[in-house]
Chain A
Amino acid sequence: MSGLGRLLVAIYGILALAATVRSLYQILSRFNEAPVAYLLSGLAGAVYIVATIALIRQGPWWRRVAGAAILFELLGVLVVGTLSITLGDLFPHDTVWSVYGRGYGFIPLLLPIAGLVWLWRSDPTRVRSEPIGSEPIRSEPIRSEAAGSSEAEK
């Protein structure tokens, strides 16, 4: 896996831990205040865990899982972010996605975008379909893919 990919995995891991623990606290201590928001918070935490694992694993199937999880997060932060502003009663301002992830330095909004860009850039099938002799940026993802898979075999 390339360096930026590892950084992405680390940040996803931290966010997964933070979001999961926080939602557990919310569900355990004041679930009745906003059941929809706190259940969604728990779901968000679970999907961050799935995304973290899928980004670490190699292969086309895990790549699709990672893509789906990240896309879900992007939709989540956009929809819940908007609803938390327009329907404040339903979505209190203390879930991971509220106000586009403001409580987490907008990382929940930026991270899915970074994740999708990374998945797209490191996609081995995309590299093959590129015309020969174009920009040489492609050489890095090829090497990193190869290094990543050999790491996984160890």
Chain B
Amino acid sequence: MIEWLTWAQVVVGLAAGVLCVAFFCAQRAPNDYTLGAIALVELLLVVQAVTAIVAPFVGNSPSGDGLEFALYLITALLLPVLAVVWALSDRTRWSTLILAVVAWAVAIMVFRMDQIWTGSGL
């Protein structure tokens, strides 16, 4: 993993969650801003996936468990997709809150992925 990319991703995830909570408090159903924020979270996860595949070939191998890392990454990639499907089928402000929950969940998972990659943490 590239450290600054990981931290940027965590910050974007947390910020996207805050944005979604703000729109939830304003009683808005998912709109371009909140769905856009989740799309950005997903885009960064795709970048992370590409980075993780390329990194070992340029001398940046994980010192932790690669399989566990991959499972985290795949699960994290799924979450925003599921959240957007939910948001499009349930057009209420509660979907906006669920987008926030997913954005935060992804941020936490990326943080964990960094611990797994470097072999530190729990």
Whether A60 sits at the interface, judged by CB under 8 Å, is: no
Residues of B within 8 A of A (CB): 65, 67-68, 71, 74-75, 78-79, 82-83, 86, 90, 92-95, 97-98, 101-102, 105, 108, 122
Bound-state Cα–Cα, A18 to B78, Å: 11
Return B119 CB to nearest CB of chain A, in Å. 14
Q: Residue A59 at the B interface, CB < 8 A?
A: no
A-B contact count (CB 8 A): 44
- DSSP majority for the B interface? helix
Q: Chain A interface (Cβ within 8 Å of chain B)?
A: 3, 6-7, 10-11, 13-14, 17-18, 21-22, 24-25, 28-29, 93-94, 103, 105
A7-B101, A14-B79, A25-B68 known; 13 other A-B pairs, CB under 8 Å? Answer: A3-B93, A3-B94, A7-B97, A10-B98, A10-B101, A17-B78, A17-B79, A21-B71, A21-B75, A24-B71, A25-B67, A25-B71, A105-B108
B72 to chain A, nearest CB (A): 8
Q: Decide if A7 touches B94 in the complex (CB within 8 Å).
A: yes
Partner of A6, one of B78, B98, B105: B98
B92 engages A3 (CB within 8 Å): yes
Given A3-B93, A3-B94; A17-B75 close (CB under 8 Å): yes
CB closest chain-A residue, reference B83: A10
